[in-house]
Amino acid sequence: MTFVRLLLISFLLSGCCEGKTSITIEDFVSLIPQWEVYHDSPHDVVGDNGAAYGHYQIHKVMVDDYNRITGSKASHVDAFDPEVSKRIAYAVLRHYARHIASTGVTPTADHMLFIWNGGGGAWRRVENPQADQKQINLDTYRSRATPIIIKYIKNKV
């Protein structure tokens, strides 16, 4: 298995635990609904003032990105299906993990959180934070998700 392939499968969770701690992309994707919606939310839950659909709270721009990356023809309404949402999340995050790795940066869970919340270019803000509202939103999102990821990793060990 090549080094780049390993990066696609496992993301380091930086700054949270002693030693090197990682989470697979599959596990990361499966955890997203835990910080996105309440536990018993219906599949047709809508958030972000009507713009985010389903358990993964997917915006239309994310579906458009998924279609561009995969050549699919998914619609925004398809994001209400948890399995479709999971495929969208996996494909989009795997795509950007490859891109990040191609720049010489090791993809981390922080990169994936920033992409999921702030779009494909938001990963750059992990190493280069900006003094603006978007950065505040990304940092708040990370602080909401990180305890869930840490708990998952600790229970897995």
Residue 58 in any domain: the answer is: yes
Residue-wise pLDDT for 107-154, tens only, equals: 999 999 999 999 999 999 999 999 999 999 999 999 999 999 999 998
For residue 76, CA distances in Å to 8, 31, 32, 63, 103 come to 26, 21, 18, 6, 31
Its pTM stands at 0.86
Residue 1 in any domain: the answer is: no
Residue 2 in any domain: the answer is: no
Q: 17 pLDDT exceeds 60?
A: no
Counted domains in the chain: 1
Q: 54 pLDDT exceeds 90?
A: yes
The CATH number of residue 151's host domain is 1.10.530
Between 48 and 12, residue with greater pLDDT: 48
What is the domain range of residue 85? Answer: 8-156
> Binning pLDDT at 50, 70 and 90, where does residue 21 land?
low
> Binning pLDDT at 50, 70 and 90, where does residue 157 land?
confident
Average pLDDT, the chain: 88
Q: Please, is 83 exposed, middle or buried when counting C-beta atoms within 10 Å of its C-beta (0-12, 13-18, 19+)? A: exposed
